[in-house]
Structure 1
Amino acid sequence: MLTIKEAGRYANFLQKNIDLLKNFFINDTLVFNTREEHLKSKVLKGESDEIKLIEERSDLDVSLEDAIHLIESLINKKMELSMAINNAKSKTLVDWIENSEKLPLDTAIEYSKNLRNFAMCPLEDLTLNRSEEYIKDGIGYLINNEGNQSQYHYEIKIIKKINYDRNIVKSLYKKILNKADLLSEAIDKAMLKKSVEFEMEYNLHDSLEDLVEKFKKHRAIKGS
């Protein structure tokens, strides 16, 4: 049995190892046995031909076939876990009321995310704006006495004033961010209380090598 939060971590763990195992097939020297025939005698008489076998072994002690089956197994495990998480989430309400109703977990997560994004941008940016004045260079053109166009420089005074009440924005920024923080706490509590019907086959701290060894032992037992 897992909490929803633990189940989410385990789902990430499974995906990480799926991705690592798929890298196993990128290396051609692990996928193919290569034989090089250096035909030196065709060019120089008296030279002997040379045979080289190119073999490279992975640090991972697993056959190609076992790696394929392990990936398939992990993908299936993640699918089962995803279904169990969705089932647990559908029955989980967060201790947070909006419009006279408690929020379902996924709705609360999305609502919290939108509140926080709104607080950080644009509200936070708006709280940092200031009215300002500065000078920049302007360029003008005129016709001189000889009838030629000439250029001249002058100052442009820029006056920028914010056209909103910054105090109102600052107050709303704090209110929205505080609400998002409190809602996140309520979400965490809900995720720690609700159980996901799933048994972990591997430990969260297992390395890829650990997964391979456990998988091989399990297959050996199953095959015997």
Structure 2
Amino acid sequence: MNLKEAFQTQNKINELLSYITRYLSNNDNVMTITEKHLRSKALKGQKDETVDVSERSEEGFAVEALLKVWQELMEEKEKLSCAIGKAKAGMGFNLDATVDANKSRRSMLQALQGLANLKSSHELQKGEGQGYVFNNDGNQTSYYYDIDRIMTIDYDRNKVRAMVKDFNRKADEASLKIDEALLATKVDYTPRFDLAGENQFIVEELLEK
């Protein structure tokens, strides 16, 4: 398989491991809860009754069998991770560093685009100001006045626009390089299980083996 398929398989295994962990972390799925209705103690001649009041998930997996499946999936995850590591080591560039840098570049592009579109402006706020003066009788009175709110950008917008263009070019080049590498890089790994489909059904199939 290629590196892209390997990452997809790795993600699916992680999903299944988390699915099993969540199932086993729910006490209702790992305990049988019964209630004994002791009617005979309250009234002679009445029959006692034992009622199962367990609230298991609909899957109803056996705990020990599920633990075994988790261990098998974990072994596969470790094998696949090692194979991915070897494949990445043979690449002509550091894939992880390139992906991380491109995420940062894409994130910064959003902020830069906002700066590139921002303009200096002003807004006349009529009657928004309030002041106080003394009138001829010596009484304090208020009066209202207009406020001209001036907003000025503190940077060279042309330089920011140039950065946007440069970042877009570098991000696109890196994305293309990453995509090509994911498809071209081979990973020495053969899946042991068929991991296609919903998590519940995959686990059910693994339990039947």
TM-score after normalising by structure 2: 0.84
Q: Aligned to 2:35, what secondary structure does the other structure show? A: strand
Percent identity of equivalent pairs: 32
Tell me, yes or no, if structure 1 residue 157 matches structure 2 residue 148.
Answer: yes
Q: Work out whether residues 70 and 212 of structure 1, in 8 Å CA contact, stay in contact via their aligned partners in 2.
A: no
Pair 1:169–1:50, CA change in 2 (3 A): same
1:35-72 residue CA offsets vs partner (Å, 9 max, x unmatched): 21112344445544332123555443631101111112
Query: What's 1:174 paired with?
Result: 165
Q: Aligned to 1:62, what secondary structure does the other structure show? A: coil
More strand by share: 1
- What does residue range 1-224 of structure 1 map to in structure 2 within 5 Å? 2-45=1-44, 47-55=46-54, 58-60=57-59, 62-93=61-92, 103-121=93-111, 123-136=112-125, 137-142=128-133, 150-208=141-199, 209-217=201-209
Aligned equivalents of 1:75 and 1:149: distance in 2? 80
Pair 1:193–1:46, CA change in 2 (3 A): same
Shift of residue 16, structure 1, vs aligned partner: 0.7
Pair 1:197–1:153, CA change in 2 (3 A): same
Shift of residue 118, structure 1, vs aligned partner: 2.2
Aligned equivalents of 1:160 and 1:68: distance in 2? 63
Q: Work out whether residues 90 and 105 of structure 1, in 8 Å CA contact, stay in contact via their aligned partners in 2.
A: no
Q: Work out whether residues 69 and 206 of structure 2, in 8 Å CA contact, stay in contact via their aligned partners in 1.
A: no
Aligned equivalents of 1:47 and 1:30: distance in 2? 32
1:108-138 residue CA offsets vs partner (Å, 9 max, x unmatched): 22232222222222x1110110111112312
- Aligned residues: CA RMSD: 2.5
> Which range is displaced more, 68-77 or 52-61?
52-61
Query: Aligned letter for 2:117?
Result: L
Aligned equivalents of 1:74 and 1:54: distance in 2? 32
Q: Aligned to 2:153, what secondary structure does the other structure show? A: coil
Q: Aligned to 1:200, what secondary structure does the other structure show? A: coil
Q: Aligned to 1:86, what secondary structure does the other structure show? A: helix
Aligned equivalents of 1:52 and 1:61: distance in 2? 18
Count of matched residue positions in the alignment of Structure 1 and Structure 2: 206
Query: Aligned letter for 1:20?
Result: Y
Which runs of no fewer than 5 residues in structure 1 stay unpaired? Answer: 94-102, 218-224
Which runs of no fewer than 5 residues in structure 2 stay unpaired? Answer: none
Query: What's 1:96 paired with?
Result: none
